[in-house]
Structure 1
Amino acid sequence: MADVRVTYDNTANAAYIYLTQPQVCVRAAYMYACDPVDVDGMINLDFDEQGRLIGIEVLAASSKLPEYLLRRAEQLDVEGA
């Protein structure tokens, strides 16, 4: 299985799942907001200029993603950072 970078901000309860190579910086060309009613929350999909999915933002992440994933994610809201 490929390594996937995941960041998590506990204060905002928001996670981001990067679907690009770690050493490559890709900018999102457009974002698609999933219907919050259909997914019972807010999930945004980021796409590059070629229409490839490059990342997933998950708000209210603690209710949408497995706990082990959030524990292993790169923590963005570490005190003193």
Structure 2
Amino acid sequence: MADVRITYDKSVDAAYVCLTEPQARVKSACMYPRDPVDVDGMINLDFDEQGRLIGIEVLAASSKLPEYSLRSADRLDTDGA
């Protein structure tokens, strides 16, 4: 199973699930937002120039992702707690 990297910033309650290889420097060519009304939080899907899904941004992440995923995520906020 491939490793999936998750980053999390608790100060803004946002997480990013990166689906590319850790060494890859892939830029997002387009982003498709998911209506917050439908999911009670914003979820954005990032695709590369070939149309492959490369990442998922999750706002209001603490209510959308399992707690263990956020605990093990690379922290981007300054407090790290």
Aligned partner of residue 37 in structure 1, secondary structure = helix
TM-score (norm 1): 0.94
- Identity %, equivalent residues: 74
Residue equivalent to 2:55: 55
Aligned partner of residue 79 in structure 2, secondary structure = coil
Between the aligned partners of 1:15 and 1:52, the Cα distance in structure 2 is: 20
Aligned partner of residue 45 in structure 1, secondary structure = strand
TM-score (norm 2): 0.94
**4+ long deviations beyond 3 Å:** none
* Alignment RMSD (CA, Å): 1.3
Between the aligned partners of 1:3 and 1:78, the Cα distance in structure 2 is: 25
Residue equivalent to 1:41: 41
The one-letter amino acid paired with 1:8 is Y
Residue equivalent to 2:22: 22
Deviation at 1:40, TM superposition (A): 1.6
Unaligned runs of 5+ in 1: none
Residue equivalent to 2:5: 5
Q: Deviations over 1:30-76 (max 9, x none)?
A: 10001111112100000000111000000000000000000000000
